[in-house]
Chains A and B, each alone.
Chain A
Amino acid sequence: MKASTSHSINVSSSTEHLREVRNFVQNFVQQFDVNKNDLDEIILAVDEAYTNIIKHAYNNDPNQTVKIELGTSTDTLWVQLSDTGFHFNADEYQPPDLLKRIKNKQRGGMGVYLIHKLMDSVEYSSAGKTNTILMRKRI
């Protein structure tokens, strides 16, 4: 269940906006009585989700838009990111084998794993052309 939206932005899909996105999340979350560790984890989860959309949904096309909405319901903070790019099935993630990745000089795929570690629940959905990731964390 998602309560009414309290805060949202539309942002172009470019890593040059990462800092702005993190500031946007920080400004919203700081209104609540959230400890520093939880605040940092929420900011990082949104950074990773937004970066994944830029790279995988929009293939680094900066002319696309990502919608980011944040809200709270009872003791939970939720964040939803929406895009209209390629659907990528991030549900089927495997916890990364760091040693194997280092040996193979692979560097990607850590973001999705981090998101699951940082947040209490992560849901992906697609409706029409829109893909969404909804993340929740108890605060």
Chain B
Amino acid sequence: MMKHFTITKRQEEHIAILEINGELDAHTAFQLEQQFKTLIETEAYHIIVNCSNLEYIASAGLGVFMAYIEDIRNLGGDIKLSNMTDGVYHVFDLLGFPSLYDIHRDESEALNSFKTQK
């Protein structure tokens, strides 16, 4: 069966960048959850999630961001989001995420915001 959600991980200095691709729903959300767990285990608390190839998100996907943001911020890091399509941003917006999450137009802006925080 073809995978309809994949994650590619990159590193830029101390910042972990996750490119999430495809459809993030109740079936695929565990994959993102696993990535956040692994990042926390390896003490990588500065995380950018690049959503440029995220085609779809349901509330189960949003739930993963909700479950880990507090821990990661308490550990001195953050989960920043970037490159959302209008359709994906609309779902985040309906649930009030923009006031509580650091959402950037593109990845370099998200990177800069980490670097200026240091």
Q: Footprint of B on A, CB under 8 Å?
A: 15-16, 18-19, 22, 36-37, 40, 44, 47-48, 51, 54-55, 96, 98-99, 101-103, 105-108, 110-111, 113-114, 117-118
Q: Is chain B's binding surface mostly helix, strand, loop or mixed?
A: helix
Total A-B pairs in contact (CB under 8 Å)?
Answer: 70
Q: Footprint of A on B, CB under 8 Å?
A: 4, 23, 25-27, 56, 58-60, 62-64, 66-67, 69-71, 87, 90-91, 94-97, 100
A44-B91, A98-B100 as given contacts; A15 in contact with B66, CB under 8 Å: no
A18-B27, A98-B100, A110-B95 as given contacts; A105 in contact with B58, CB under 8 Å: no
Determine the residue in chain A with the shortest Cβ distance to B27. A15
A99-B100, A102-B69 as given contacts; A107 in contact with B27, CB under 8 Å: no
Q: How far is the CA of A55 from the CA of B63 in the complex (A)?
A: 14
Do residues A98 and B96 form an inter-chain contact, with CB atoms below 8 A?
yes
Do residues A16 and B27 form an inter-chain contact, with CB atoms below 8 A?
yes
Do residues B63 and A108 form an inter-chain contact, with CB atoms below 8 A?
yes
Q: Is chain A's binding surface mostly helix, strand, loop or mixed?
A: helix
Do residues B66 and A107 form an inter-chain contact, with CB atoms below 8 A?
yes
Do residues A47 and B66 form an inter-chain contact, with CB atoms below 8 A?
no
Determine the residue in chain A with the shortest Cβ distance to B57. A44
A105-B70, A107-B66 given; name 14 further pairs at CB < 8 Å. A18-B25, A18-B26, A18-B27, A19-B23, A40-B87, A51-B26, A102-B66, A102-B100, A106-B66, A107-B63, A107-B67, A113-B95, A114-B91, A114-B94
Q: How far is the CA of A101 from the CA of B89 in the complex (A)?
A: 20
